[in-house]
Amino acid sequence: MSHHIVEFKNVSFRYPNKTEALRDISFRITHGESVGIIGANGAGKSTLLMHLNGYLMPTSGTVNIGNLYLGRQTRQEIRKKVGIVFQNPDEQLFMPTVYEDVAFGPLNLGMDEAMVRERVRSALDLVGCLDLQHKSPHHLSNGQKSSVAIASVMAMEPDILAMDEPAANLDPRSRRLLINLLRTFEHSKVIASHDLDLILDVCQRCIVIREGNVAADGPAFDILTNKELLEENHLELPLSLQRG
Amino acid sequence: MNFDKQYYNIGFLDQLSYKDTFVHKLDPRAKIITTSLFFFTVISFSKYEVASLLPFFLYPVLLMTIGEIPFMLIFRKVILVSPFAVFIGIFNPLLDSGQVFIFQGLAISVGWLSFFSILIRFTLTVSTTLLLIATTSFPGVCHGLRQLGLPSLFVSQLSFLYRYIFVLMEETMRIVRARNMRSYGERGKDMRILVRIAGMLFIRTVERAERIYSAMLSRGFQGDMPSLKRYRIKMADVVFTVSILTFLYVFRLYPVTRILGGFIQGVFS
């Protein structure tokens, strides 16, 4: 299958306050690839993710997702293909109970009730949060919130999964579970993170972003062992590689 | 620290709704209908009525007992908001100075009657509302309202309000904590700083709203909040509603307290 591609061609984006977040960026992610997006704070990682489902539109250039060019008409279709897990789970979980939150996406896709229930069950089961289903999000710990946020996106069974700092709120064990979970997800993944060990574990490919452009793009292992390149971009060698 | 305490208190009301009693298991619609009719009945009495209102305490007491809701919790919250009602009625005894005899020879101003009447109505309505939420949970009430045909827009506003009031409070708590940690007990510039904190909160809220909206969009939101039908009317709901309605009807139309009083006098004389 070649249709789950993500292709950015000469994409630039400028925020209304004139900050240039993306400058003429181009890359192509093919089906089934898992790609880590790394870079310094403010390099444009989050802005890039927001382009994946058309929440932001490029000021110039084209974004091609699953053979659809991102535009006002195609946005809704593209949103069905791309699931994004945002950085702050409080903003991801907006419904009053966990169950309803996970059901939100599938219901919007127009599924019938039985199907929705099935999806919600399996998504919550996947992240190990089935017993939280009737709780309110404000009664959950941060780690639980993150897991539920992931479930809420998984329930839509997206073709492409994008995540912004997925492990930021997790304790080491939950983080490990998340890494294992991500490894089982077969479709394309785009993960923006400062957690380089996570990227090393999950991604085969890595793109380094600097000032809105691609500074380096290659196999994750090569990039994450290149000390010079990482330090130029305010990063460090992954901890697991520092010991050796 | 007061702020923190209030925060955890609100959450507690919600946790009570995880219980599993007869009242909790009732359909939210049944509880919403009986509670709102209860309001109408209580409000419909004339403004000097005191004695006829007292039997209506049966309803909140019933909910509280069967629903296993701690009395002190509700009581404390009622006291907390009571200043509003007190200030509405406090001048009645002075302004409304007609005399009324309650015992032979003992006369008080009619204003006192209307003042007490306001207080009783206030206690009845507020405690019942709190009990409705404590036994149904706020999301449950929202669901019920939606199923009763309230427009989805209103209901979703209501549930967003409830969802994010906690997030907003947490944010305020963090800002206030950060201020306290670096103000070393100096309170001179308090007011000016508080104004800035409020402004800060406002901006953060707007930004957050934008991010929430983007999260909604990315999960296929197109302007309508979807919802699953979770509740079915059971026999217990019908029985509950009908018996509460009969109770309200009887106590509204017949002066039950007076009849009962006359009956007891008859027994003892």
8 Å CB contact of A136 and B14: yes
Res A38: pLDDT:
92
Burial code (b: 16+ CB inside 10 Å, e: under 16) for B143-182 equals bbbbbeeeeeeebbebbbebbbebbebebbeebeeeeeee
Q: Residue A53: closest CA among chain B residues belongs to which residue?
A: B218
Residue-averaged pLDDT of chain A: 88
> Would you say residue B3 has pLDDT above 70?
no
The arithmetic mean of pLDDT across residues A181-188, rounded, is 85
How far apart are alpha carbons A6 and A8 in whole angstroms?
A: 7
Q: C-alpha B35: how far from its chain's center?
A: 10
Reduced DSSP (H G I as helix, E B as strand, rest coil) percent helix, strand, coil of chain B, to 5: 75, 5, 20
Q: Percent of chain B beyond pLDDT 70?
A: 91
**Residues A41-54: pLDDT tens digits?**
888 888 899 898 88
The arithmetic mean of pLDDT across residues A16-28, rounded, is 90
> Which two three-digit tokens encode residue B61?
């007491």
A-B contacts at Cβ under 8 angstroms? 84
Q: Residue A78: closest CA among chain B residues belongs to which residue?
A: B218
Beta bridge partners of B162: none
> Which two three-digit tokens encode residue A25?
């960026």
> Would you say residue B23 has pLDDT above 50?
yes
**Which residues in chain A touch residue B219, judged by CB atoms under 8 angstroms apart?**
79, 83, 104-105, 108, 152-153, 156
Closest approach of B162 to chain A, Cα-based (Å): 8
Structure ipTM: 0.77
The arithmetic mean of pLDDT across residues A184-191, rounded, is 87
**Residues B147-160: pLDDT tens digits?**
888 888 888 888 88
Confirm or reject contact between A77 and chain B (CB < 8 A). Answer: no
> Would you say residue A195 has pLDDT above 70?
yes
pLDDT band at A191 (very low <50, low <70, confident <90, very high): very high
> Would you say residue A185 has pLDDT above 90?
no
Residue A95 belongs to what H/E stretch?
A: none
Closest CA to B120 of B179, B55, B71: B55
8 Å CB contact of B219 and A134: no
**Which residues in chain B touch residue A86, judged by CB atoms under 8 angstroms apart?**
211, 214-215
**Residues B163-218: pLDDT tens digits?**
888 888 888 888 878 877 777 766 656 777 788 888 888 888 888 888 888 888 88
CA distances to B52, B55, B104, B205, B269 from B264, in Å: 16, 16, 19, 61, 9
Nearest CB neighbour to A91, from listed B137, B159, B211: B211
The arithmetic mean of pLDDT across residues A110-115, rounded, is 87
The arithmetic mean of pLDDT across residues B50-56, rounded, is 85
Closest approach of B89 to chain A, Cα-based (Å): 37
How far apart are alpha carbons B63 and B107 in whole angstroms?
A: 37
How far apart are alpha carbons B125 and B24 in whole angstroms?
A: 19
**Residues A120-169: pLDDT tens digits?**
999 999 888 889 988 888 888 888 888 899 899 989 888 899 999 888 87
8 Å CB contact of A107 and B226: yes
pTM for this predicted structure: 0.75
**Which residues in chain B touch residue A92, judged by CB atoms under 8 angstroms apart?**
215
Burial class (CB in 10 A: 0-12, 13-18, 19+), A48: buried
Q: Are A197 and A239 in contact (CB under 8 A)?
A: yes
Residue-averaged pLDDT of chain B: 83
> Which two three-digit tokens encode residue B30?
């049944």
**Residues B236-248: pLDDT tens digits?**
888 988 998 888 8
Res B4: pLDDT:
58
Strand order in the sheet with A6-14: A20-29, A6-14, A60-65, A68-69
How far apart are alpha carbons B119 and B147 in whole angstroms?
A: 33
The CA-based diameter of chain A, rounded to the nearest angstrom, is 54
Res B1: pLDDT:
43
pLDDT band at B2 (very low <50, low <70, confident <90, very high): low
CATH superfamily of A6-236: P-loop containing nucleotide triphosphate hydrolases (3.40.50.300)
pLDDT band at B162 (very low <50, low <70, confident <90, very high): confident
Which ranges of B28-151 does DSSP label H, i.e. alpha helix?
A: 28-43, 58-66, 71-89, 92-95, 110-136, 138-147
What residues contact residue A73 under an 8 Å CB cut-off, 6+ apart? none
> Would you say residue B5 has pLDDT above 70?
no
**Residues A64-107: pLDDT tens digits?**
998 889 888 888 888 888 889 888 888 888 888 899 889 988 98
How far apart are alpha carbons A143 and A137 in whole angstroms?
A: 11
Q: Are A98 and A111 in contact (CB under 8 A)?
A: no
Res B98: pLDDT:
75
Q: How many CB atoms neighbour CB A30 within 10 A?
A: 14
Res A187: pLDDT:
82
Q: Are A42 and A2 in contact (CB under 8 A)?
A: no
> Which two three-digit tokens encode residue A197?
């060990």
**Which residues in chain A touch residue B212, judged by CB atoms under 8 angstroms apart?**
91, 94
Which ranges of chain A does DSSP label H, i.e. alpha helix?
A: 45-52, 75-81, 89-92, 98-108, 113-126, 142-154, 172-184, 196-202, 220-224, 227-232, 239-242
> Which two three-digit tokens encode residue A130?
């089935």
**Which residues in chain B touch residue A95, judged by CB atoms under 8 angstroms apart?**
159, 163
The arithmetic mean of pLDDT across residues B210-235, rounded, is 79
